[in-house]
Structure 1
């Protein structure tokens, strides 16, 4: 396991702030209470571990397959439905949504190999990720990857009530490889995947996904 570069500043800042607070409390509040000092240190360590785990990247054997659509994120499947994708395709697509809790790995990975044909960032609100309007009103990005076969898959990173910053590493015209990082959502939220109607969906509501590993669909 390793730690993601996006967490470097946050982890160092958190550690320093907790250290200073513990030292000040030990000197001015609990100088004669070793039990309170011990409890304070334990609480601080737990908080630091929680922050650090947000940025972990576990070692994994990634799944690859030309016709396979791999989960772009760790989390839980919360939506599988036929819907109208109105930003890019402007027609009906099969939507699969993965909710990322604060305890999930927060790296976002390319579900297929191909060329980035479209990218756009939208500033917005921070509604809870399961809110019906979060996919159209929250801070978000839209990425469309075209496979060698010509099939296009749309990904949408959506910030939530806790997530306050979306990171992306792709741009239009860029070739990308299945399983490589295309972005990061700090402290979790949701990733929507829009697929052709004839795609075979391999997951169901409530399934837990592993980014870069779980096959969520098969393209025809």
Structure 2
């Protein structure tokens, strides 16, 4: 993954920049602007046009794609999404992740592991990133409902997309993009066979959603319930490390 190399010794260059808008969202923003200008300039309905212009600005902001500084350590599993850690539970990975694929590659083990659910509101960045480096082993789209993504049953009932990444050392990790009440479209940027780096952009979910991450066996979270994560930066866990971490909401 090309980028500006920075470290904790002060090397690299850092400056504030306006986040870019992902190409996937530019058409939606331009459509919103065109509608707002139609009401403002053609119909002269300012009471509708100005609010619509505000909506257009929000649409552009929704598809913002800021740069992230990704930890470069194979022990770390980084957050694939911005948002709120809404659920931490121990469950078996979805059946679609467990079964062997068409190439004969075995899936994830069937025993329960820690699942971290990150809820993305409509105000969060919705570009999702790879939690680890490796090869994309499978991308499985599952149609479904659009219940509140904050509910536990959303992982089994909603429109969703499973992604499994396999590392050269045999470690496999699965995560699921889940559509929510407003979201109606999961857009992948990767396909099976792609080699990806940790923190690389792998897809997005339009307009509110959730991402579930299934940590490898023997790995506990390094985040707590109610914590906010930053995609590509927040460390969710350290492979093979188990430790109780507590926090206090103030």
- Tell me whether the two structures share a fold, i.e. TM-score over 0.5: yes
| Match of residue 2, structure 1, among 16, 20, 32 | 20
Aligned to 2:205: 185
Aligned to 2:35: 17
Alignment partner of 1:80 is 2:88: yes
Q: How does 1:31-110 map to 2 (within 5 A)?
A: 37=46, 40-87=48-95, 88=98, 89=108, 90-110=110-130
Shift in Å, 1:55: 0.5
Q: Which has the higher strand share?
A: 1
Instruction: Report which stretch shifted further, 98-107 or 109-118.
Output: 109-118
Q: Answer yes or no: is the 8 Å Cα contact 2:90–2:114 preserved in 1.
A: yes
Shift in Å, 1:205: 0.4
Instruction: Return the alpha-carbon distance in structure 2 between the equivalents of residues 72 and 138 of structure 1.
Output: 19
Q: Answer yes or no: is the 8 Å Cα contact 1:82–1:197 preserved in 2.
A: no
Aligned to 2:225: 205
Unaligned runs of 5+ in 1: 31-36
Q: How does 1:131-210 map to 2 (within 5 A)?
A: 131-210=151-230
Instruction: Return the alpha-carbon distance in structure 2 between the equivalents of residues 84 and 180 of structure 1.
Output: 26
CA deviations over 1:9-36 (Å, ceiling 9, x no partner): 111111111111223441xxx6xxxxxx
Shift in Å, 1:174: 1.8
Determine helix, strand or coil for the equivalent of 1:201: coil
Shift in Å, 1:107: 0.2
Shift in Å, 1:132: 2.6
Shift in Å, 1:188: 2.4
Shift in Å, 1:41: 4.7
CA RMSD of aligned residues (A): 1.5
Q: Answer yes or no: is the 8 Å Cα contact 2:114–2:220 preserved in 1.
A: no
CA deviations over 1:117-168 (Å, ceiling 9, x no partner): 2221111111110223211111111011112321111010000011110001
Instruction: Return the alpha-carbon distance in structure 2 between the equivalents of residues 186 and 63 of structure 1.
Output: 27
Instruction: Return the alpha-carbon distance in structure 2 between the equivalents of residues 61 and 151 of structure 1.
Output: 23
Shift in Å, 1:203: 0.1
Instruction: Return the alpha-carbon distance in structure 2 between the equivalents of residues 56 and 64 of structure 1.
Output: 24
Q: Larger RCO: Structure 1 or Structure 2 (Cα < 8 Å, ≥ 6 residues apart)?
A: 1
Q: Answer yes or no: is the 8 Å Cα contact 1:14–1:48 preserved in 2.
A: yes
Instruction: Return the alpha-carbon distance in structure 2 between the equivalents of residues 41 and 117 of structure 1.
Output: 47
Determine helix, strand or coil for the equivalent of 2:139: strand
CA deviations over 1:49-79 (Å, ceiling 9, x no partner): 1111100012332222211000001001011
TM-score of the superposed pair, with normalisation by structure 2: 0.80
Alignment size in residue pairs: 210
Alignment partner of 1:125 is 2:145: yes
